[in-house]
Structure 1
Amino acid sequence: MACAIMKIPKTLGINRFRNITAIFKERSIPTHENSLVFYRFLSFNTSKETHFPDGCKPKINVLLNRLSTSAAANYAFQANAISRNTGHATNSAAEEDLRILAKEGKLKEAMEAFTKMEEKGTFLDSYTYNCVLQCCADRKALDEGKRVIEHMNRTGFRPDISVNNRMLELYGKCGSVQDAQQVFDKMSERDSASWNFMIAGYSYNGLAQEALQTFGQMQENGLRPDGNSFLGVLWACSRLGLVDKGRQYFESMSKDYGLLYSMQHYVCMVDILARGGGLEEAEQFINNMSVKPTASVWNTLLNFCKSHGNAEMEKRVANKIAELDTNMATVPVSNTGGISGRYANRGARNNSRDIGGDADIMKSPTPKASNVHEYRAGTLSHPQREQIYAKLDDLSGKMKEAGYVPDTRYVLHDVDEAQKEIALMHHSERLAIAFGLISTPPGTTLRVIKNLRVCGDCHNAIKIISKIEDRELIVRDAKRFHHFKDGKCSCGDYW
């Protein structure tokens, strides 16, 4: 069942401040003056008194300065977690519960717990911020992540490199590359992960040239690329159609850096070769792999066999996949975004939009209470059903005036042309966008997250809608981010 979810975040309340301290485990930190002994973070369930040389407590600013400039900053302990009055612990039980919820991926429950702590003016430490931001990044929850970041700013928390990296990951996964760049530029210290998140963020958001430039800057700064660095670079080469450059990077991994290839690297290389039409070379590359290729590697080639219309290779590759994974046994395609498409894996068909398998999540940042709206392609059940369909009808007329011609090849059902056009117009991402357009102020950026690749007709339609409505429409499909604005897409129609 195709569905889309529209979520509108709650307004933020005003935080109250509360004096707290952190809990530490005894550890010595060498300084230019007398050694300072403190308790590193150990547990939120027990409290231990902090001891200092000569039995006296230093001023809090001295403690903060020493901790922030020492090696202790690398620990989970965060100097900003100490308030003006030492001797009182944070709401340790609540903070531990928040971390557990975040680690389990329970975003809604975690944000409810976070809100309660906000209202009480509770300070959080680096580790807790890390967990919550990671949960937001994994769930592509940009609005919730921004709430957490705003809380950090209001409480005067100074993020360490780990928290900054979580922010880079959040912004990159949610399509906010400019925000990621701002965080990156302000970072006083960066590690390999920081550079990798920027490279990946650029690549997945269609800014492939920037990804390659960032990779070059990483090398110039003396950091050694790892496997994740090359994943982002290979993805960028695929987006730009740089076959030779991609091959050079792939070979450099092993030759210049002694890195081992993961199956993801092989998938990227097949993508690079096949995307530009080199199907035979891609097939030969797979056959010559030093390890046994998985079904995912062959499936990458299968997708391009469909898009390039090579039915003979498509059948051969589909049989290879069936041999490797019975769960991916080939069946006739109903509608998986391909055109030639006589074969597709069973899992893909069970998730195809024609039987409602693709889930779209739509988010729009407006100061209203949170709401969730579910859509099913073609059979919309929603309180504003009539308004949504009316908006689609209105868009249909304007789109055709702007030059839109429905590409009914993407509808593989045996129905007449008029029914095919209706089916295209009622794809779930268009239902979600129509609802966003009637529910948000003009000019508001709309975000759609899909678990399937956006079909060619929807891609063309959304470009035109972005120009007609003068909106930025950010669509995250199974492959990448598409930033639609002024009738153009960041992918350059190459995805």
Structure 2
Amino acid sequence: MEVENIFPDSITFIGILTACSHSGLVDVGRKYFNLMSSHYSIEPQMEHYGVMVDLFGRAGLLEEAYAVIEAMPVEPDVVIWRALLSACRIYQKPKLGEVAIANMSRLKSGDYVLLSNMYCSMKRWESAEGVRELMKKKGIRKIRGRSWIELGGVIHRFKAGDRSHPETEGLYKVLDGLIRQTKLEGFLPQTDLVLMDISEEEKEGNLNHHSEKLALAYGILKTSPGREIMISKNLRICHDCHNWIKLVSKLLIRVIIVRDRIRFHRFEGGSCSCEDYW
């Protein structure tokens, strides 16, 4: 841009910092954030601080993320605290997560779910149950994950463990076959992601029937070999499904695209376009 005598503005830096956040480029993001004021005389706004909290949070640098919040010249908004809370759930930092919750004046159902899941991941079942009870009292319901696929102009929707589709028998047959095939290739379900106090076998069954896996199985059932498959999901794809679909794309020699709440994932040959950072 500078070669063409086009100088960056506030919006430009939001794009740069967001790209760094979604690519894991912590040092590069930190560099450009500092350059905003020191070199370009652009004072960071709420959005810039929010992206920096997200950048450090995604990288597991939660103390740095919190330091950014504390150094802000303006009162952080709920979006910034939510970014910190999300990182606390992923990296199991309940105390900092509770700080985030305490500073959020307008809580959404997803915020309570993040806190509950954080407790569950640490096997703090009583704390998690306390959050769920609070949700019940406030009349807050968890947003249920759903996936869908469009074939022949018809949208087919699935939720986890769904058996309501008229072709359930066929799609589960395909799914069970894929699960056996991926196990033979050495795939191990990430049962630690199932945040319930149940047996390992039950956890594996839970993972096997996630909505995106059902949608993918139906796509495979109804399309010719080698055809690209496109799936959409209303929530963030979990790590187990992400790794499993990578392997399926390799075994079936297919391009599989999943549009989740965060981004597009293009699976091909055992890899994903996000490079496992989303």
- TM more than 0.5: yes
After TM superposition, the structure 1 = structure 2 runs for residues 134-145 of structure 1, keeping only pairs within 5 Å, are none
Cα pair distance change 1:333/1:255, threshold 3 Å? closer
Residues 337-368 of structure 1: per-residue CA shift (max 9 Å, x gap)? x9449668969x8344xxxx22334346xxxx
- Which deviates more from structure 2 when the two are superposed, residues 244-253 or residues 459-468? 244-253
Which of 304, 307, 326 matches 2:90?
307
Quick one: distance in 1 between partners of 2:38 and 2:44? 11
1:485 alignment partner in structure 2? 268
1:290 alignment partner in structure 2? 73
Quick one: distance in 2 between partners of 1:420 and 1:455? 14
Q: Which structure exhibits the higher relative contact order, with contacts defined as CA atoms closer than 8 Å and separated by 6 or more residues?
A: 1
Matched, 1:373 2:142: no
Amino acid at match of 1:359: R
Report if aligned partners of 2:89, 2:115 keep a CA contact under 8 Å in 1: no
Percent identical among aligned pairs is 39
Which of 136, 156, 167 matches 1:384?
167
Cα pair distance change 1:388/1:283, threshold 3 Å? same
After TM superposition, the structure 1 = structure 2 runs for residues 334-349 of structure 1, keeping only pairs within 5 Å, are 339-340=121-122
Quick one: distance in 1 between partners of 2:268 and 2:81? 34
Larger Rg: 1
Cα pair distance change 1:465/1:331, threshold 3 Å? closer
Which of 227, 235, 241 matches 1:452?
235
Which of 252, 255, 258 matches 1:469?
252
Report if aligned partners of 2:54, 2:83 keep a CA contact under 8 Å in 1: yes
2:149 alignment partner in structure 1? 362
1:412 alignment partner in structure 2? 195
Quick one: distance in 2 between partners of 1:226 and 1:380? 52
Report if aligned partners of 1:351, 1:358 keep a CA contact under 8 Å in 2: no
- Which deviates more from structure 2 when the two are superposed, residues 411-420 or residues 282-291? 411-420
After TM superposition, the structure 1 = structure 2 runs for residues 16-415 of structure 1, keeping only pairs within 5 Å, are 218-259=1-42, 261-321=44-104, 324-327=105-108, 330=112, 339-340=121-122, 350-352=141-143, 357-363=144-150, 369-415=152-198
Q: TM-score, normalised by structure 1?
A: 0.49
Cα pair distance change 1:389/1:227, threshold 3 Å? farther
Residues 83-135 of structure 1: per-residue CA shift (max 9 Å, x gap)? xxxxxxxxxxxxxxxxxxxxxxxxxxxxxxxxxxxxxxxxxxxxxxxxxxxxx
Residues 170-196 of structure 1: per-residue CA shift (max 9 Å, x gap)? xxxxxxxxxxxxxxxxxxxxxxxxxxx
Quick one: distance in 2 between partners of 1:466 and 1:232? 31
1:255 deviates by 4.1
Helix, strand or coil: the match of 1:398?
A: helix
1:29 alignment partner in structure 2? none
Quick one: distance in 2 between partners of 1:439 and 1:334? 38
Report if aligned partners of 1:319, 1:330 keep a CA contact under 8 Å in 2: no
1:334 deviates by 6.1
Helix, strand or coil: the match of 2:266?
A: strand
Quick one: distance in 1 between partners of 2:113 and 2:269? 39
Quick one: distance in 1 between partners of 2:221 and 2:43? 50
Report if aligned partners of 2:250, 2:270 keep a CA contact under 8 Å in 1: yes
1:327 deviates by 4.4
Quick one: distance in 2 between partners of 1:477 and 1:340? 26
Quick one: distance in 2 between partners of 1:398 and 1:464? 10
Cα pair distance change 1:405/1:451, threshold 3 Å? same
Residues 371-407 of structure 1: per-residue CA shift (max 9 Å, x gap)? 1212122123112111111111001100101111011
Amino acid at match of 1:301: L
Quick one: distance in 2 between partners of 1:360 and 1:492? 22
Report if aligned partners of 1:482, 1:489 keep a CA contact under 8 Å in 2: yes
Report if aligned partners of 1:466, 1:484 keep a CA contact under 8 Å in 2: yes
- Structure 2 unpaired stretches of 5+: none
Quick one: distance in 2 between partners of 1:277 and 1:458? 22
Helix, strand or coil: the match of 1:429?
A: helix
Superposition RMSD in Å = 2.8
Quick one: distance in 2 between partners of 1:331 and 1:363? 29
Quick one: distance in 2 between partners of 1:334 and 1:427? 20
Quick one: distance in 1 between partners of 2:260 and 2:121? 18
Report if aligned partners of 1:306, 1:340 keep a CA contact under 8 Å in 2: no
Report if aligned partners of 1:363, 1:446 keep a CA contact under 8 Å in 2: no
Residues 303-355 of structure 1: per-residue CA shift (max 9 Å, x gap)? 1112112222222222222xx2244674685669x9449668969x8344xxx
Report if aligned partners of 1:466, 1:473 keep a CA contact under 8 Å in 2: yes
1:185 alignment partner in structure 2? none
Q: TM-score, normalised by structure 2?
A: 0.84
